Amino acid sequence: MAAFGSLFMPEMAISWFDGDSWSETEIVASDSIQLHPGAHVLHYASTCFEGLKAFRHQDGSVKLFRMDRNLARFAQSSALLALPEVNVAATEKMILDIVGRFASEVPEPPGSMYVRPTHFGTEAAIGKAAAPSTTSCQYVLLSPVGDYFAGGDKALRLLVDDNGMRCAPHNGMIKSGGNYASALQPIMKARTEFNADQVLFAPDGFVQETGAANFLLIDGDEIITKALDESFLHGVTRDSILTIARDLGMTVSERELSVDELLERAAKPGCEAALSGTAAVLAPVGTLIYQGKDVKVGNGGVGETTVKLRSTLNDIQWGKAEDTRGWLTSI
Ligand SMILES: *Cc1c(COP(=O)(O)O)cnc(C)c1O
């Protein structure tokens, strides 16, 4: 199977904003956008995206998971980047149209169709370093993905970084390209120097998130994770897992977690940690690396509660458990 996100459907849905209104959605070849080299996005990073999944159920139907949340975040990211306003109903229709067109290509679980709406400033205006693009483009690209855990469910190693930050704090809740570019150097350094998989950013000594996933500490019946604020990305998976955990009778504590408390709790037997995001749902964290030393989380392996929460969410996504909260949309 190709690497996650490197295989694409041959067509996508696209619409352009001309400064006045959005064009009718077109279905075009996936490699067919044409941009002026002076386009605002290429210089001033006026771009945001979303990531959601469509799942094939046993009866052959195809369902999108919590699309309303992703649409709302897409509109919010666009607004915070001063991009033209997206018409949520129109973007929703683009998603339904293109997923419907490729419904027969949606992989069986544990695979899925990853859906990538993207919005960026197109105005050819390199003088606009401090002004928004008046024109833009949005498209919805599809990428069939296989089992995220095909290589085995390996517990991740996270470097705890209480020095740097992932992105500028006021940009944290925007799903925007520049934030990932900004986190790349610390992540690459952590890989080469500490054989870490990811960096857990903890600016000022308080746990935030990694480069592309939210962080959850699971201590017995309690889940501790940072409360929502503008400094980090509000994951749909985070919200889904916390909802499921509450329903299972767990205590959910959305609050600040200092690095000191994290390390102290993590070292206790039975403690677990996980990263949440659409790609993996929940990926277990086995080791925290802090000031050059490895600290095992619990027994350092794949946590039981992590696996249970993940499979409870997967069951809803895959149609093996009832969707009591209206999280699925049929196409
Ligand atoms: C996308 C993303 C997440 C996870 O969000 P989901 O909606 O759960 O996929 C977390 N952190 C960052 C920085 C992200 O880009």
In one letter, which amino acid is 95?
I
**Ligand 1 atom with the shortest distance to the CA of 214:** 10
Q: How far is the CA of 83 from the centre of ligand 1 (A)?
A: 20
The pTM score is 0.97
> Please, where in the chain does CATH 3.20.10.10 lie?
156-317
Quick: pLDDT tens for 144-156. 999 988 888 899 9
Residue carrying the six token digits 């401090």: 130
* pLDDT score recorded for residue 1: 57
What is the CB < 6 Å shell around ligand 1?
51, 175, 209, 212-214, 233, 235-238, 276-278
- What average pLDDT is seen over the chain? 97
β-strand partners of 90: none
Token reading at 41: 């996005």
CA distance 299 to 132: 50
Residue 197 burial by CB count (10 A; 0-12/13-18/19+): exposed, middle or buried? buried
**Ligand 1 atom with the shortest distance to the CA of 237:** 8
* pLDDT score recorded for residue 151: 84
Residue carrying the six token digits 């607004």: 79
* pLDDT score recorded for residue 2: 72
Q: How far is the CA of 174 from the centre of ligand 1 (A)?
A: 10
Q: How far is the CA of 213 from the centre of ligand 1 (A)?
A: 5
CA distance 39 to 124: 4
Quick: pLDDT tens for 312-322. 999 999 999 99
Confidence label for 262 from pLDDT (cuts 50, 70 and 90):
very high
Q: Which CATH number fits domain 156-317: 3.30.565.10, 3.20.10.10, 3.30.360.10, 1.10.10.10?
A: 3.20.10.10
The 10 Å Cβ neighbour count of residue 36 is 12
**Section 257-279 average pLDDT:** 97
CA distance 81 to 20: 18
- Residue with the nearest Cα to atom 15 of ligand 1? 212
Pocket test for ligand 1, best of 115, 148, 175 (most atoms within 8 A of CB): 175
Nearest CA among 168, 108, 94 for reference residue 138: 94
* pLDDT score recorded for residue 259: 98
Quick: pLDDT tens for 198-242. 999 999 999 999 999 999 999 999 999 999 999 999 999 999 999
Note whether 228 and 234 are within 8 A (CB).
Answer: yes
Quick: pLDDT tens for 1-49. 578 889 999 999 999 999 999 999 999 999 999 999 999 999 999 999 9
Domain 11-145 sits in CATH at 3.30.470.10
* pLDDT score recorded for residue 249: 98
Q: How far is the CA of 230 from the centre of ligand 1 (A)?
A: 13
CA distance 217 to 253: 10
Distances (CA, A) of 173 to 170, 176, 229, 238, 330: 8, 9, 8, 13, 28
CA distance 103 to 176: 28
CA distance 92 to 71: 7
**Section 100-125 average pLDDT:** 98
CA distance 298 to 312: 22
Note whether 319 and 62 are within 8 A (CB).
Answer: no
| Strand ranges, E, within the chain | 11-17, 26-29, 47-49, 52-56, 62-65, 112-121, 136-145, 156-161, 198-201, 214-219, 222-225, 251-254, 271-277, 281-290, 293-296, 328-330
Residue 177 pLDDT > 60, yes or no?
yes
* pLDDT score recorded for residue 84: 98
Distances (CA, A) of 301 to 173, 272, 305: 31, 9, 12
CA distance 256 to 274: 17
Pocket test for ligand 1, best of 201, 233, 278 (most atoms within 8 A of CB): 233
Token reading at 169: 């704090």
**Ligand 1 atom with the shortest distance to the CA of 240:** 8
- The separation between CA 321 and the C-alpha centre of its own chain, rounded to angstroms, equals 23
> Please, where in the chain does CATH 3.30.470.10 lie?
11-145
**Section 97-106 average pLDDT:** 98
Quick: pLDDT tens for 270-299. 999 999 999 999 999 999 999 999 999 999
- The separation between CA 287 and the C-alpha centre of its own chain, rounded to angstroms, equals 22
Pocket test for ligand 1, best of 48, 167, 242, 278 (most atoms within 8 A of CB): 278
CA distance 315 to 244: 12
**Ligand 1 atom with the shortest distance to the CA of 236:** 7
**Ligand 1 atom with the shortest distance to the CA of 172:** 13
